[in-house]
Structure 1
Amino acid sequence: MAPTRIFAGLFLLLAIYCALDPFEHSAISEFPDFVSHPVEMPPWSLVPTEKDELNSLQKSEIKFLGQIQGPESLTFDPLGRGPYTGIADGRVVFWNGEKFVDFAYTSSNRSAICDPKPSPLGYLKNEHICGRPLGIRFNKKTGDLYIADAYFGLMKVGPEGGVATSIATEAEGVPFRFTNDLDIDQDGNIYFTDSSTKYQRRNFMQLVFSAENTGRVLKYDPITKKASVLMKNLQFPNGVSLSKDGSFFVFCEGSLGVLHRYWLKGEKAGTSEILAVLPGFPDNVRTNKDGDFWVAIHCRRSYYTYLCAKFPTLRTFLLKLPISAKIQFLLHIGGRPHALVAKYSPEGELLQILEDRQGKVLKAVSEVEERDGKLWIGSVLMPFVGVYSLE
């Protein structure tokens, strides 16, 4: 038999296996209605290639190792105390100078299933019960802490902490399904993201693989006490942060790997534009005292990922191979977790890149909070906080 016929036969068998997935070994076997969506990505030539040759993030100090699991977002209260952070078991905790103590809960239905586990991923199964606080911000005028809980929506708790109160769970009749990050303007308006109306956070890998476009950017008005939709049909919108002067906010769109600018004031008010093309998959973004934006990036984008994004049929075929979601995820991030943070000017100019390309110290990063010459680095996947000195 000619080699070409043998190859064609093997390819046909593989195609049939992928179509049927008889042993349910694929990354999407538990999602029968899974659909790969096309991603209109920026041209590959626009993806930044600048690198941190010094791997500067390897010099980060590891703090609170083993005391917290998955500190996604970090913030300090109006008196400068903290950090406060939301962790994998559904609590918001506060560093009192000696140890982390409980500050707030997003679920009023906590039980033993929310007790500490060895890994942040160990909480996924029960996140919808225990809660998962992601983005957190203080209202500097009132001292209230606002929380974007992935399952319970937009919430707030007073300066003394306790059980958080729900303030919004839907907009325009569509419930939030993956509330992700937020920021607050001087008038108390809250701008926040709902990453998907289909997938919950515990299925974030399938959301990444699908690149489905039900994500939204929203605004909560404290006077009307209602949430409205500013933008929709987005592919994994994530971090959001106001500009220093409050004239616009920026937000990340994960599947595209871009930073958007949404105008709040001026002749462009109510419109948006791409501010910057990012080198990889973004998470949260935070504004520093100078008005620049620190973007946390989980990993660099590879050409493999670029091709999968452009060709959804190819992506579906690969996802139906008998390869676990974890291995598929590693393929998309270049084989190993590696942290990267990038600083952008208000005009979208790339000012600085810091990274740990080998993932020796920081394997993942979800947020970067600049404070007093240091970067406080949170990660939804790590059991610690990284602190990097800019001096």
Structure 2
Amino acid sequence: MGSCTFKLALIVISVIVLLFLPCTAAAGVTKAIDASRTQRLNLPGSLVGPESVAFDGHGAGPYVSVSDGRVLRWGGESAGWRTFGYSPSYIKNNCSAPSELPPVATESSCGRPLGLRFHRGSGNLYIADAYMGLMRVGPNGGEAKVLATEAGGAPLRFTNGVDVDQVTGDVYFTDSSTTYSRAQHQMVTATGDSTGRIMRYNSRTNRVTVLQSGVTYPNGIAISTDRTHLVVALTGPCKLLRYWIRGPKAGTSEPFADLPGYPDNVRPDGKGGYWVALHREKNEFPFGVDSHLVAIRIGAEGEKLQEMRGPKNVRPTEAVEREGGKIWLGSVELPYIGIVST
């Protein structure tokens, strides 16, 4: 009887030890990054919303898409921020004039650039503008050329994410909804709207092809390192989708990863995986500890690799990792870019 009691005690102790052992090694997850103390690169004046952050083929930048309809370029401490690009409507509608209206009230006439991505070979910057469609600005900046305002016979109502195949020059982008505009983005999630689309722009033929329709809130998009598939953030469902563009599965899609929050842009981490910005967590409470997930690093096969945590008032829309251990955070709400040291 004493022997059985002793064995039972050992089993209980073993279970307790296992429960309290860290699970990091088993899950393959590295230490979380603390984004509570970030360096800030402030926007000029009253501008807000550097939704996307991009660097050109020479490493210059960052370039950011902001709330008044422009793309700005950072030229360093001496030069500061300068206008790099804008839609044709920006000049036509005199959007540079002072206005007391909130930016959301002028977006439809001035434009609201969201996703940004350079084609390094040509130096062209591709812009997914929520209202103006897919646009392109040359290496020297200036007025953008509108490349597409419709696809498959339906207008682009909420152009959102963009990425470029650096080999072919093909541009992949998303239309988050054919029902609601960006000003109504909350309705896309609230109604479970599934009218979003994934598209490709062929820069050689200037043609747009709808790759997949009926998608639930497609947002950010990134092409894989081997260029065989796209990874698309589905904001409402809190998931990543994989769409195959080459190989035996070409033209099909499949679930890629479940996420603990609402994703926005997806960007390569330089190691074969992706940084996914999370606007907020799934089950986030407004009270309690002032910390939440702001981004998550996902591996090449959809596995969770690393988390980034920060204050609840930081709700990033993009996380871009650069050489030197810096991650640049864009936000659709804040008046600055956050720079996090890893």
TM-score (norm 1): 0.74
Q: Which residue of 2 aligns with 1:126?
A: 106
Q: Which residue of 1 aligns with 2:22?
A: none
Indicate if the aligned counterparts of 1:107 and 1:129 stay in contact, CA closer than 8 A.
no
Is 1:383 the counterpart of 2:326? The answer is no
Is 1:56 the counterpart of 2:34? The answer is yes
Q: Which residue of 2 aligns with 1:341?
A: 295
Q: Secondary structure at the match of 2:102?
A: helix
Indicate if the aligned counterparts of 1:276 and 1:349 stay in contact, CA closer than 8 A.
yes
Please state how far the C-alpha of 1:106 moved relative to its aligned partner.
1.6
Residue-pair matches, total: 307
Residues in 1 aligned to 2:106 and 2:190: alpha-carbon distance in whole angstroms: 22
Label 1:161 to 1:57 Cα distance change in 2 as closer, same or farther (>3 A): same
The 5-angstrom pairing of residues 1-391 of structure 1 reads 56-64=34-42, 67=45, 68-98=47-77, 99-110=80-91, 111=93, 115=97, 122-185=102-165, 186-302=167-283, 334-335=285-286, 340-356=294-310, 358-359=311-312, 362-372=313-323, 373-390=325-342
Structure 1 residue ranges without an equivalent (≥5): 1-48, 303-332
Please state how far the C-alpha of 1:207 moved relative to its aligned partner.
2.1
Residues in 2 aligned to 1:80 and 1:113: alpha-carbon distance in whole angstroms: 30
Structure in which a larger fraction of residues adopt helix: 1
Give, as a single letter, the amino acid of the residue that structure 1 aligns with 2:252. T
Residues in 1 aligned to 2:95 and 2:201: alpha-carbon distance in whole angstroms: 32
Please state how far the C-alpha of 1:62 moved relative to its aligned partner.
1.9
Indicate if the aligned counterparts of 1:134 and 1:147 stay in contact, CA closer than 8 A.
yes
Give, as a single letter, the amino acid of the residue that structure 2 aligns with 1:203. Q
Give, as a single letter, the amino acid of the residue that structure 2 aligns with 1:334. F
Label 1:59 to 1:171 Cα distance change in 2 as closer, same or farther (>3 A): same
Label 1:117 to 1:243 Cα distance change in 2 as closer, same or farther (>3 A): farther
Q: Secondary structure at the match of 1:203?
A: helix
Please state how far the C-alpha of 1:224 moved relative to its aligned partner.
2.5
Q: Secondary structure at the match of 1:126?
A: helix
Give, as a single letter, the amino acid of the residue that structure 2 aligns with 1:132. R
Please state how far the C-alpha of 1:122 moved relative to its aligned partner.
2.1
Give, as a single letter, the amino acid of the residue that structure 1 aligns with 2:163. D
Label 1:239 to 1:82 Cα distance change in 2 as closer, same or farther (>3 A): same
Q: Which has the higher contact order (CA 8 A, sep 6+)?
A: 1
Give, as a single letter, the amino acid of the residue that structure 1 aligns with 2:297. K
Label 1:383 to 1:278 Cα distance change in 2 as closer, same or farther (>3 A): same
Give, as a single letter, the amino acid of the residue that structure 2 aligns with 1:76. F
TM-score (norm 2): 0.84
Q: Secondary structure at the match of 2:267?
A: strand
Indicate if the aligned counterparts of 2:43 and 2:81 stay in contact, CA closer than 8 A.
no
Please state how far the C-alpha of 1:108 moved relative to its aligned partner.
3.0
Give, as a single letter, the amino acid of the residue that structure 2 aligns with 1:348. G
Indicate if the aligned counterparts of 1:106 and 1:132 stay in contact, CA closer than 8 A.
no
Residues in 2 aligned to 1:232 and 1:166: alpha-carbon distance in whole angstroms: 22
Indicate if the aligned counterparts of 2:160 and 2:219 stay in contact, CA closer than 8 A.
yes
Label 1:109 to 1:378 Cα distance change in 2 as closer, same or farther (>3 A): closer
Q: Secondary structure at the match of 1:127?
A: helix
